[in-house]
Amino acid sequence: MKRALGVCYYPEHWPEEKWAEDAALMARTGLVWVRIGEFAWSRLEPQPGQLDFAWLDRAIETLGAAGLKVVLGTPTATPPRWMLDQHPDMLAVDREGRTRKFGSRRHYCFSHIGYRKACARIVTLLAERYGRNRHVAAWQTDNEYGCHDTVISYSDAARAEFRNWLAQRYQSPQALNRAWGNVFWSMDYESFEQIDLPNLTVCEANPAHEMAFRRFSSDQVVSFNRLQTEILRRHTDAPIIHNYMSRYTDFDHFDVGADLDIASWDSYPLGHLITRTDASEEDKKHYLRQGDPDNQAFHHDLYRAVGKGRWWIMEQQPGPVNWADYNPAPLPGMARLWAWEAFAHGAEAVCYFRWRQAPFAQEQMHAGLLRPDSEPAPALAEAAQVAQELADMPEVETGKADAAIIFDYPSAWAWSIQPQGKDFDYVALVFAYYRAMRQLGLNIDIVPASDPDIARYKLVAIPGLMTVPERLSAQLERFEGVVLAGPRTGCKTEEFSIPVPLPPALPGLDTRVAYVESLPPDAPVALEAGGHFMSWREKLEGSAEALERCSDGWPALVGSGRMFYVGGWGDRVALSRIVGMACRRAGIETLNLPRDVRVRTTATHRFYFNYGGEQIAFAGNDLAPGGVGWERL
Amino acid sequence: MKRALGVCYYPEHWPEEKWAEDAALMARTGLVWVRIGEFAWSRLEPQPGQLDFAWLDRAIETLGAAGLKVVLGTPTATPPRWMLDQHPDMLAVDREGRTRKFGSRRHYCFSHIGYRKACARIVTLLAERYGRNRHVAAWQTDNEYGCHDTVISYSDAARAEFRNWLAQRYQSPQALNRAWGNVFWSMDYESFEQIDLPNLTVCEANPAHEMAFRRFSSDQVVSFNRLQTEILRRHTDAPIIHNYMSRYTDFDHFDVGADLDIASWDSYPLGHLITRTDASEEDKKHYLRQGDPDNQAFHHDLYRAVGKGRWWIMEQQPGPVNWADYNPAPLPGMARLWAWEAFAHGAEAVCYFRWRQAPFAQEQMHAGLLRPDSEPAPALAEAAQVAQELADMPEVETGKADAAIIFDYPSAWAWSIQPQGKDFDYVALVFAYYRAMRQLGLNIDIVPASDPDIARYKLVAIPGLMTVPERLSAQLERFEGVVLAGPRTGCKTEEFSIPVPLPPALPGLDTRVAYVESLPPDAPVALEAGGHFMSWREKLEGSAEALERCSDGWPALVGSGRMFYVGGWGDRVALSRIVGMACRRAGIETLNLPRDVRVRTTATHRFYFNYGGEQIAFAGNDLAPGGVGWERL
Amino acid sequence: MKRALGVCYYPEHWPEEKWAEDAALMARTGLVWVRIGEFAWSRLEPQPGQLDFAWLDRAIETLGAAGLKVVLGTPTATPPRWMLDQHPDMLAVDREGRTRKFGSRRHYCFSHIGYRKACARIVTLLAERYGRNRHVAAWQTDNEYGCHDTVISYSDAARAEFRNWLAQRYQSPQALNRAWGNVFWSMDYESFEQIDLPNLTVCEANPAHEMAFRRFSSDQVVSFNRLQTEILRRHTDAPIIHNYMSRYTDFDHFDVGADLDIASWDSYPLGHLITRTDASEEDKKHYLRQGDPDNQAFHHDLYRAVGKGRWWIMEQQPGPVNWADYNPAPLPGMARLWAWEAFAHGAEAVCYFRWRQAPFAQEQMHAGLLRPDSEPAPALAEAAQVAQELADMPEVETGKADAAIIFDYPSAWAWSIQPQGKDFDYVALVFAYYRAMRQLGLNIDIVPASDPDIARYKLVAIPGLMTVPERLSAQLERFEGVVLAGPRTGCKTEEFSIPVPLPPALPGLDTRVAYVESLPPDAPVALEAGGHFMSWREKLEGSAEALERCSDGWPALVGSGRMFYVGGWGDRVALSRIVGMACRRAGIETLNLPRDVRVRTTATHRFYFNYGGEQIAFAGNDLAPGGVGWERL
Ligand SMILES: [Zn+2]
Ligand SMILES: [Zn+2]
Ligand SMILES: [Zn+2]
């Protein structure tokens, strides 16, 4: 399949006269895909039962006639105002107990049965009408599940469904009490009806209670999405996609992904960098107009895993946006670079968001490929250039990776429930390992803990994995590559207890975490070999050899031939050295990249990306600021 | 009319035996005005319908007998506790949905019809009794509208009135949907009864929705005040005043001012500096005991405009206060300097707040002219000195200004709804232009955008004006002076959309804002000529000449002969140069003032103020720390 | 009585088979006391009225048989879930009006009558059953009153009881209006039923209103505790204890202590340092693994006063805990040092919290003497060493102190209600004086303002005491030692007004606070003799001699022979000099201690403590990091 560009478009926002003109310019620019419809419910059904699909018929026909392929979104992220008259209790409730009102989007609780039925009805109507439409070549379910913190709801509907979920999982209150350790502080329950949602407790709720609620909340998204995919599959063979968000972990993307054909994500590199708490102030300034050089790649690799190999960028930032604390303009060239970084990681499509900047409502300050006055914005020419360049490139392909990192949503929930040190963040920890590998020039795969398949790799990193599942444990037993685990790996049971024997309990590695400590930002612990442990450190005991030590003698890295455990959160210097050691032991070749340069290798090409604001010469490539280069292998 | 001093007094707080003694000392100090009554409702009407005006009769008589002129306040800012039994739903509700309870002051929602009727009743009773009283020489309506964030209420009363207001403004839900762009995210309404207040929405509400609510909230204050002025005018010819607060923009002061005879404001220079987010840490420390050297002047000029030429200081800080994060003591002399700065700007009266420090209740740590033990506080002697000095001065007069700045309350609402960069603040932007002009020694007028009259000026600055109204636009066409507009001027329609053609669309200036970017504090953009754009920058296109450029080539200042547009938020260095250029083109002479010195020129005198902690010699004046000097022209 | 070690134990958490083994190891380690039962209600009464005391009988017997003495806790801090079915309105409500739900602990409002009755019932049952049990040698009431901010509740139950309390105190609404100054802002009440709790008012409530509510809230804890002590005393002669928390002032510990035999507190030095706002960042880092060198001693001296001479540590941190922002591991040796510091201050017992780290529920990351796998944690050996060392020491004794500091809970409420400067904190002020004395090597007594007995001291410091009570005032008249008062001493009446004549009105000292100022952190005022006043400064007038002055001439320290007043908040340099002067005048010998060393003298020994991370030689002692030394006098 040929790699392709696309764009997000809202025909309902513009006079019908403009549609054909817009479609023609899209085609001329080289765009292939156009996503529509995902917020249009109030125009498809202005009043309950009064359906108006005629305009959508015409819009699809107009776009299709121009040669474009349509991604049709189900409009369930924006129920019309009249829906509230039918279901006044469908709104989500926040942690403080406040009902989250109508007037923007995503105003629904995933647990509300009545709203689910309404969704099933509109999706069925759309699927029946457009399931075999020759221009509708893909479907999107809802939009950005979880955006604006909408997965976790403390509504009455959520409480009722949580109790059902608990009853299914534990079968008896006594079993639940035992699993959660409710003897502690006399928290025992005698019936599932006594169990409330874990907000507004006097002090923190039992972490097992919180964890169960997080598992439940994620499962609600999965079943909400599955309701739609099951309907769609009855009427269409087109691939079904959802557009995920970056660094968003409130539901398990792998679980939702199991019901999709393609995973996609919405990539806004500048806003992501500004709002990310684990980026240094210096990096935020240095990459202000380029975005973090590793964050997009990390998500490309993640969603390739979520999509079981097939993935897109559904929304690509084209210029300044409206939602970050500060919204700078990208460096010229970035709209091209970001697209190529995605294609180099195996993306089938990259769609810019959005076609024309809307002059009204919430996103009026969000750039598009066109300005509000329909003149081209800077990204339009960059998109056209990418379209041109794609013509000369081979079909979609993905590079082989020697190294993998295990990623696990429940671990993100666990450490947000129990950080133990104020700033402990699971995604930041995994990302630190990812960055260390990428700065060494590696191709990397992300692998889910729940469904691993690690035999093909030379090196697997497992940082911070709450519980090592049976299947992964069994694979580790047989694994012939190098394993780099820790800190905080395998340190909880599924029910959020400390396992005995003590963690990490890795096959063939005699080491135990006797206790842990968390550290303030200004009190890192130096390592003898250079660099520091920041934030987190573990006291390791056992016979495993200490390959590195802290300045006060605590073992920092223990292990042997193929199994290693890191007893703390290494800073860049430490992680670069430790990952480098692991690569050497695994027989993986590494590069020595300049700060701003990244590489990615496909089956046929090696790509070079310059995330810096200065011209750089590297490996024979002359890379302009924000420049991309490639060579055939 | 002679300039005069005054004081705020609460006879109900003190034994009646003390009143005559207090009045005598006031008169001896040289005070002319005494404001009373504005919080006394519970003593005027201890129980519903049980009126007790006798003590107020005696208080007014006692003060009048000592030669003092009374400003009588309507007591509607502090309804007694029994009012809540009659109107349990009269309380305001905050953005989080919490009812704001009795137990301090301003415990009412401006939209509550029942409370409005109760206000009309007590104001009528007061007006009837004191409207022709020979000692009552002025009236004050209510007290500090908006203090403690009380303009914006999310109560049921506010929601009901908002729907009425919307119905009046838009006439049909369809017109409202079109105006707001509600097609975006399926936010369409079918009836006005479906529209809620824009709080607690899942993510931000439509900015047009927010803006309508802000306009409505301001209008509610205007009509609440008008209810009182209409009653008062039926019974008195004395001037009607309201006391506004500094840097407070939640309602349109010009609109309220249209119903007043005199505008007044409450000046607390030390607290204002400490709580102001746009002052630098260095300035906050340097001016800790003096207050910002430009902030009071800015408000003097603002309220002269609000009062259509007639204005007072109704409350002047005399010593340490109680409400800022930190409450330092003023430098000796400041109670005199602040008064003279006001008189130099045309104030008719300056009233110190308050006569005697109350030893009880919320403001017990707020200094007065007397201490709680009735001994003189330091400001008493300074007030006496000012009274003495006033004797030798001419009548009230206002200096002529060559330069004007447009100020507009809706713009403040707009940019607080849509800052686009986290720290964008309209008042701070306007103040940056004001400061640049004042540091060049200019007399400055503030001019409302809604009712401008700019023909008399040589230079008009228009920073950040959301929408350029028809009348101003027409005046700009004919204007012969220099115009300095931008950034963000004219960039929205009245309904909060981006206009096409793109802004600023100024007459005779071919420039367009292609897109904008907001910048973090540590990432300003250097200008070729020195200084920086901070926070905000615009990409300007068009044929207008670029007079200054950013270091990356973007035009920074474009324009020609008389019309200029600044494409960013200039720091002090940049704004000083740009405003200096505009002055030269406008033929306005400028001064080169030391950091701590400010000047103000009236028809007959030039005044010099030393806001520094050190002695300064300037232009032949020897200015002590906190010192004032003047010379006849 | 011999000093003794102990531990907190939860037999209900572990299989009954383990109890005897645990008890044996406790005894072998040298532990004497074991506290149990305080969270076990759901296991003592799984359903309403269905009591199961058999397991507790066996647990007590097993522990007793091993030679251990039991402290039995009443379980009222953790009512079972079924209690809510009986009393749905028993939950506390927070300042924002949110009900604080079940799911952790302390889920009750102290004012709920129904819950009080339920507590009386369970305490009676326990007292009847175990009051004469030969192994139960002490009782603990409830657990950590106030933990998780649970003293102050805005529930309906609290409002009803507050009105009763007000009616008792003031007898008529008119008297209350006069006492509070409700004439201010028309806040007068006509009946007690009109008075609400002082939360969610439009701006701050009357400080007298807040103060009354704080007094009431404290009294509710006192009567709640008394209900239990009265029942217990009817059935047992064993001493009754409560375990207080450090730096917690929401109720009056002296008032609760009046009903106890022994005061105890829960000492977590590392978490306390990290969460304390008045510790410098440098100190937080330097003492990260040792805790503040003065904070534990301060509380030892405080609780010795609360316990009228008899006091314990009920919970002693043994390793990393779970609840601070960061949770580092203690330096080796600290579990021993902390115990010895307590014994040197006169503790009868030090109990480590807890025996075995629980692998489940909220405190799973809280270290114990044993790890979750029952292996010894580092503190076990340190406890054993202390037990060994105790054998050679004399009986419990307390050193004589020449210096005393007055401590007063209402003053803490007053300054939290009216800090006047954002960071003014009463405990921090008192602690600054304490630290200055302790760094000079003094033994110090803490003395309650309400029940002072100062004749025995050579020096008494009285910083920040809101109101000087009659009895203290009378004692000061006759006192022959040196008094060091201020700042902010005696500056309010009991009803939160400024007294006239102005403060401090100390016998024999002609000085008056004309006014005060609060200062931002970056604007301290230098003293002529060195050091600064930070945060707070007072303008002193009167004939008392100025012994020190500020750089701008304000008197900083006034006084003569035996009575001194400090007109500001001295930094370390200033307070060290001023306290040193006072010691010299009082004839108290002082030491010149290195930064990390502290001493404490008992009747027979002088103890040396090294809170530093380096070896120190001092006064002939070689002190390891975290080391303790002692010498016979
Ligand atoms: Zn989004
Ligand atoms: Zn105010
Ligand atoms: Zn606690």
CATH of the domain at C492: 3.40.50.880
pLDDT band at A276 (very low <50, low <70, confident <90, very high): confident
Tokens matching residue A444: 């990397």
pLDDT digits (tens, 9 = 90+) for B443-482: 999 999 988 889 999 999 999 999 999 999 999 999 999 9
Q: Which of A144, A341, A538, A548 is the catalytic position?
A: A144
pLDDT digits (tens, 9 = 90+) for A476-486: 999 999 999 99
Chain B residues touching A285 at Cβ < 8 A: 520, 522-523
**Pairwise CA distance, residues A196 & A207, whole Å:** 14
User: Are C377 and A515 an interchain contact pair (Cβ–Cβ within 8 Å)?
Assistant: yes
| Any domain includes C209 | no
What is the number of other CB atoms lying within 10 angstroms of the CB of residue B247? 18
Same domain, C446 and C580: yes
Partner C, chain B 63-92, Cβ-Cβ below 8 Å: 75, 78-82, 92
pLDDT digits (tens, 9 = 90+) for C420-461: 999 999 999 999 999 999 999 999 999 999 888 899 999 999
Chain A residues touching C363 at Cβ < 8 A: 184
Centroid of chain to Cα A289: 22
By CB atoms closer than 10 A (0-12, 13-18, 19+), residue C213 is buried
Type and span of the H or E element at C533:
strand C532-541
Q: In chain A, whose CA is at the least distance from the CA of B499?
A: A359
pLDDT digits (tens, 9 = 90+) for A131-158: 999 999 999 999 999 999 999 999 999 9
**Pairwise CA distance, residues C574 & A45, whole Å:** 75
How far are the Cα atoms of A104, A365, B218 from residue A271, in angstroms, in the given order? 20, 13, 34
pLDDT digits (tens, 9 = 90+) for A25-71: 999 999 999 999 999 999 999 999 999 999 999 999 999 999 999 99
Q: What pLDDT shows up at residue B247?
A: 93
pLDDT band at B632 (very low <50, low <70, confident <90, very high): very high
Q: In chain C, whose CA is at the least distance from the CA of B148?
A: C203
User: Are C360 and A499 an interchain contact pair (Cβ–Cβ within 8 Å)?
Assistant: no
Q: Specify whether the CB–CB gap between C221 and C145 falls below 8 A.
A: yes
Cβ neighbours of residue C588 under 8 Å, at least 6 residues apart? C402, C403, C442, C458, C459
Tokens matching residue A214: 């997080």
Same domain, B175 and B320: no
Same domain, C18 and C116: yes
- A109 labeled part of a ligand binding site: yes
By CB atoms closer than 10 A (0-12, 13-18, 19+), residue C237 is exposed
Same domain, C537 and C431: yes
Same domain, B367 and B505: no
pLDDT digits (tens, 9 = 90+) for C166-206: 999 999 999 999 999 999 999 999 999 999 999 999 999 99
Q: In chain B, whose CA is at the least distance from the CA of A322?
A: B420
Which amino acid would we find at residue A415? W
Q: What pLDDT shows up at residue C395?
A: 86
Question: Residues of chain B with pLDDT > 90: what percent?
Answer: 96
pLDDT band at A101 (very low <50, low <70, confident <90, very high): very high
pLDDT band at C346 (very low <50, low <70, confident <90, very high): very high
B200, B421, B500 member nearest A327 (Cβ): B421
- C105 labeled part of a ligand binding site: yes
User: Are C42 and A196 an interchain contact pair (Cβ–Cβ within 8 Å)?
Assistant: no
Q: Specify whether the CB–CB gap between B59 and B19 falls below 8 A.
A: yes
CATH of the domain at C305: 3.20.20.80
Ligand 3 centroid to residue C105 C-alpha, Å:
10
| Any domain includes C233 | no
User: Which of A428-437, B446-455, B574-583 is predicted least confidently?
Assistant: B446-455
User: Are B186 and A75 an interchain contact pair (Cβ–Cβ within 8 Å)?
Assistant: yes
**Pairwise CA distance, residues B243 & C584, whole Å:** 56
Number of domains composing chain A: 3
Q: What pLDDT shows up at residue B248?
A: 96
**Pairwise CA distance, residues B46 & A515, whole Å:** 67
A100, A103, A325 member nearest B422 (Cβ): A325
| Any domain includes A281 | yes
Ligand 3 centroid to residue A490 C-alpha, Å:
29
| Any domain includes C169 | no
Determine the Cα angle at A371 with ends A368 and A376, to 5°.
90
Q: What pLDDT shows up at residue B301?
A: 98
Same domain, B235 and B256: yes
Whether A144 is catalytic is yes
Average pLDDT in chain B: 97
Statement: residue C230 has pLDDT above 90: yes
| Residue where one domain finishes, among candidates A353, A368, A391 | A391
Same domain, C255 and C371: yes
Partner C, chain B 123-182, Cβ-Cβ below 8 Å: 147-148, 150
Statement: residue C392 has pLDDT above 90: no
Owning domain of residue B383: 4-150+225-391
Mean pLDDT, range C392-400, rounded to an integer: 85
Q: What pLDDT shows up at residue B395?
A: 86
Q: What pLDDT shows up at residue B561?
A: 84
Q: How many residues does chain C have?
A: 633
Same domain, C568 and C603: no
More confident position, C394 or B229: B229
Q: What pLDDT shows up at residue B529?
A: 98
| Residue where one domain finishes, among candidates B344, B360, B391 | B391
| Any domain includes A168 | no
Statement: residue A277 has pLDDT above 90: no
Helix axes A173-180, A156-170, angle to 10 degrees: 90
Statement: residue A392 has pLDDT above 90: no
| Any domain includes A204 | no
User: Are B360 and C208 an interchain contact pair (Cβ–Cβ within 8 Å)?
Assistant: yes
Q: What pLDDT shows up at residue A505?
A: 96
pLDDT digits (tens, 9 = 90+) for B352-391: 999 999 999 999 999 999 999 999 999 999 999 999 999 9
Type and span of the H or E element at B34:
strand B33-36
Same domain, C363 and C258: yes
At A429 the three-state DSSP class reads helix
pLDDT digits (tens, 9 = 90+) for B527-575: 999 999 999 999 999 999 999 999 999 999 999 889 999 999 999 999 9
Pick left, alpha or beta for residue A191 (phi over 0 → left; psi -120 to 50 → alpha; otherwise beta). Answer: beta
At A96 the three-state DSSP class reads coil
Q: What is the DSSP string of C228-282?
A: HHHHHHTT--S-EEEEEETT--SS-HHHHHTT-SEEEEEE-HHHHHHH-TTS-HH
Average pLDDT in chain A: 97
Q: What pLDDT shows up at residue B396?
A: 80
Ligand 1 centroid to residue B193 C-alpha, Å:
29
Q: Active-site positions of C? A: 144, 315
SS3 readout for B430-441: HHHHHHHHHHCC
Distance from CA of C429 to the nearest CA of A (A): 26
- Tell me the CB-side half-sphere exposure of residue B221, using CA atoms within 13 A: 31
Mean pLDDT, range C135-160, rounded to an integer: 98
Same domain, A524 and A620: no
The phi and psi torsions of C42 (rounded to 5 degrees) equal: -65, -20
| Any domain includes B216 | no
Q: Specify whether the CB–CB gap between A490 and A505 falls below 8 A.
A: yes
Ligand 1 centroid to residue B216 C-alpha, Å:
30
Whose CA is closest to B150, among B113, B112, B103, B107? B107
Same domain, C282 and C331: yes
Tokens matching residue B263: 């505008």
| Residue where one domain finishes, among candidates B168, B186, B210 | B210
Q: What pLDDT shows up at residue A78?
A: 98
Which residues in C298-432 belong to E strands, given as ranges?
311-316, 349-352, 403-407
Same domain, C483 and C575: yes
Question: Residues of chain A with pLDDT > 90: what percent?
Answer: 96
**Pairwise CA distance, residues B400 & B389, whole Å:** 23
Whose CA is closest to B12, among A274, A628, C183, A255? C183
Type and span of the H or E element at A571:
none
| Any domain includes A54 | yes
User: Are B203 and A361 an interchain contact pair (Cβ–Cβ within 8 Å)?
Assistant: no
pLDDT digits (tens, 9 = 90+) for A545-577: 999 999 999 999 999 889 999 999 999 999 999
pLDDT digits (tens, 9 = 90+) for C267-326: 999 999 998 878 999 999 999 999 999 999 999 999 999 999 999 999 999 999 999 999
Chain A residues touching C364 at Cβ < 8 A: 181, 207, 496-498
